[in-house]
């Protein structure tokens, strides 16, 4: 519902859909999203990944969700900067003051003008008091654990996304319905138990 809020017929709408999908499926902070470059999308062992620079200059690699990849590709095709590998991935669509578009978005702008705006449009602000980008990060964790048939549910995905990205991982895991846990691959259950030990320590 949130991903459908931006119009898909405009450059801004394509960009905003790609941004929302990146946040929803990969659990990035606004600051991390704004520092992504076009070249941050690359292949690792034949699988598209995002290279994310997080707090403390830590780098992690996240498998790129199929829908996010499709929306990013559509946005880059329309925007025309797919070859600018060192340039910002997500950019302003207009700049009335300096006319410069080859610059990253500001994290506050991403939250206020994209996340909060479209959440308000679809009624999420009223339905989810205190909605923020961290809410989308929690949604990303839940998506990862719920869609057990998707490739990104593999252990490598959980290692990158849960262990390194979510301080409140165990709260999310504790809230999992029994049927979802039962459908979780054994190797993933084993890694989650390792996470439990690390968090407890």
Tens-place pLDDT, residues 13-63: 999 999 999 988 888 888 999 999 999 999 988 899 999 998 888 899 999
Those residues whose C-beta lies under 8 Å from the C-beta of residue 50, and which sit 6 or more positions away, are 22, 26, 36, 40, 41, 61, 62, 64
pTM of the model: 0.68
CA angle 37/66/68 to nearest 5° reads 45
| pLDDT grade for 134, boundaries at 50, 70 and 90 | low
Average of per-residue pLDDT across 110-139: 71
Predicted confidence at residue 122, as pLDDT, reads 81
E-strand ranges in the chain read 41-44, 47-53, 59-63
pLDDT at 150 over 80: no
> Whole-number mean pLDDT of the chain?
75
Predicted confidence at residue 68, as pLDDT, reads 94
Give the three-state DSSP class for 182: helix
Q: What domains sit in the chain, N to C, each tagged with a CATH number?
A: 11-127 (1.10.443.10), 148-200 (no CATH)
Those residues whose C-beta lies under 8 Å from the C-beta of residue 41, and which sit 6 or more positions away, are 48, 49, 50, 51, 64, 69, 72, 89
Give the highest mean pLDDT range of 115-124, 142-151, 175-184.
115-124
The residue that leads in pLDDT, 102 or 166, is 102
pLDDT at 7 over 60: yes
| pLDDT grade for 69, boundaries at 50, 70 and 90 | very high
Is the Cα torsion angle 190, 44, 18, 66 positive or negative in sign? negative
The residue that leads in pLDDT, 129 or 8, is 8
The residue that leads in pLDDT, 32 or 186, is 32
């Amino acid at each position: 519902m949130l991903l459908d809020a931006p119009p898909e017929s405009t450059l801004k709408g394509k960009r905003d859909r790609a941004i929302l999908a990146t946040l929803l499926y990969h659990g990035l902070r606004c600051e991390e999203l704004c520092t992504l470059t076009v070249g941050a999308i690359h292949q690792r062992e034949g699988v598209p990944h995002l290279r994310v620079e997080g707090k403390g200059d830590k780098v992690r690699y996240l498998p790129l969700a199929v829908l996010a990849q499709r929306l990013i590709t559509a946005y880059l095709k329309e925007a025309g900067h797919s070859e600018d590998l060192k340039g910002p991935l997500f950019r302003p669509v207009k700049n009335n003051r300096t006319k410069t578009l080859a610059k990253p978005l500001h994290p506050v702008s991403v939250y206020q003008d994209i996340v909060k705006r479209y959440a308000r449009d679809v009624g999420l602000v009223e339905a989810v008091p205190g909605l923020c980008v961290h809410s989308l990060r929690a949604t990303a964790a839940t998506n990862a654990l719920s869609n057990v048939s998707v490739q990104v549910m593999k252990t490598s995905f959980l290692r990158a996304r849960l262990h390194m990205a979510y301080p409140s991982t165990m709260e999310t895991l504790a809230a999992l319905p029994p049927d979802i846990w039962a459908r979780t691959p054994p190797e993933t259950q084993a890694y989650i138990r390792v996470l439990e030990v690390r968090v407890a320590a």
